[in-house]
Structure 1
Amino acid sequence: MGGPVCRLGHSHVLTPPEPRLGGTTSWLEVDGGHLAVERVGRGPAVVLLHGWTLDRRMWTMQARALANRFTLIAIDRRGFGQSNAAPDRLRETDDLARLADRLELASFHLVGMSQAGATAIAYAQQHRDRVITLVLQGISLAEIPDHANASDRIPLSDYAELVRQGMLASMKRHWAQHPLMTGLVGEAAEISAAMLADYDGRDLIAGPAGPSARLDAVATLCMPVLGMTGCQDTPWRRDVTAAIARTAPFGQARFIREAGHMCNLSHPVEFNAALAAFLNRPLQPVPDATND
């Protein structure tokens, strides 16, 4: 992973990150380093936050299909992708605030996937005037019981030990078979494999992953909120998605037929249609395609 700074005479010039989505890239300076940012499209701004072991390439299908209607802004979070800022989940809300200020986003739509759901919720709580709508894709929430007996438990401590022992490849092989990572074929599988290949485990070495969002926080959200995941995601993630719809004052849920946790990659046509419909008409009910 190359650093963002190259020398030109006596000054430092930030060479933009290599584009991953066909857009315009830049570096966002944050505490302890830089985050890779990519913008593509035109129209209302939509900020996209990726999940664990992933990077902004997970939004490839969305950039391809939605850039004619929205300005998609995707970042590589701390510890992932091209970003070189040290992993620190507690700083990610501030990173998002810095991004909004830097890009002069008076208001925008916000999408948080899986691990990034906690950051998206925290930001929406703290900056209610800026978040038009909030989309929470396959996130985790504290206070939701797992009736399926830890159906999607991630053995983070075991993974961290493997990385410390220099067995990153073994950790990746195990994670690639986890229910949250399966269900991809063709180009979607290639994108997922490329992201996992570049994952270096530095966040696991940095320590605990950080706090999960809590259900009571969802109850405080005043903007339209869409919980979305696949019908084949783990039972617990589906329970969390349904709880978002019940708990957020303006909440609703959307389940993508035959899709799993990575539904935006595996079933982009259905996902993009549901996302665009919500962003365009957030207060209208989104048809529920639940088929459990």
Structure 2
Amino acid sequence: MTDWDKLRIFHAVADAGSLTHAGDVLALSQSAVSRQIRGLEESLGTTLFHRHARGLILTEQGELLFEATRKMSKNLETASARIRDSEEEVFGELRVTTTTGFGTLWLAPRLPALYERYPDLKIDLMLEERVLDLPMREADIAIRMKEPSQADLIRKRLMGVRMRLYAAPEYLKENGTPSSLADIANFRLISQAANAPQVSAGAALVRELNSLSPSSSFTINNYFGVLQAVVNNLGIGLLPDYLTEDFPNLVRVLPDVESAEVPVYLAYPEELRQSKRIMAFRDFVMEGIIAYRRNRSANALQ
């Protein structure tokens, strides 16, 4: 038997106060229970019970160990109950990873509705351009700007994103509106740097725009920063088109200019297929994407 088995037997003996009664609970003979207690005492180098005619009494060291095994037993019971309950309920920690731009500009503003639905969730949102390793459990679920390469991941294509040029109405009122791509040279361009960690489609468009030698530029390493600069009238910014739903006042500049499509995927390990937390988050994101597509289609018809 392992040390875990010895601790389980010790706990039963301490709880029952008798080798015989503990043996009945554990379906073991009295001699087998006694042998495991002696083995545990030898491995710890201490006496755990005073033997009396009326039964067993814990020594001071035995009391300390019993307190520890009582906590272990309670934690195991709680975990077992949570596992059973999780078949019907959604709770616990969920580690989500995505890019800084998508996480701050699209996902985070929608999370209050998810928490309202599942108030016991504990979401750890990790925003970084580095692709975390899902099979190695660096995160539970990811939203990525390209199709995941690992074969042992469940993946779902959410939507396609294009990088486009936007500006605040006040900025255009004061500085005018470019009518051709060459006019960009007369405006301040706000973007990520072409060599910043970002999707290649966005980087390619940044290089093309910079080749026009804009009179002024401002670069920042994520789209949240680009958006803040745009809404504060700093210039014309290169931003993902999903922003138009939450920032309808942005004006699209040069409608014919856009990046190649960037596919957005949701992915999680095969082993988490039955996780209620994963399914709840996946379904919530899909609902948001469906609503976004519906709004975008309605706007396109207007």
TM-score by structure 2 length? 0.29
Q: If each structure's helix is expressed as a fraction of its own residues, which one has the higher value? A: 2
Query: TM-score by structure 1 length?
Result: 0.29
> 1 or 2 for the larger relative contact order (CA 8 Å, sep ≥6)?
2
- Rg bigger for which structure? 2
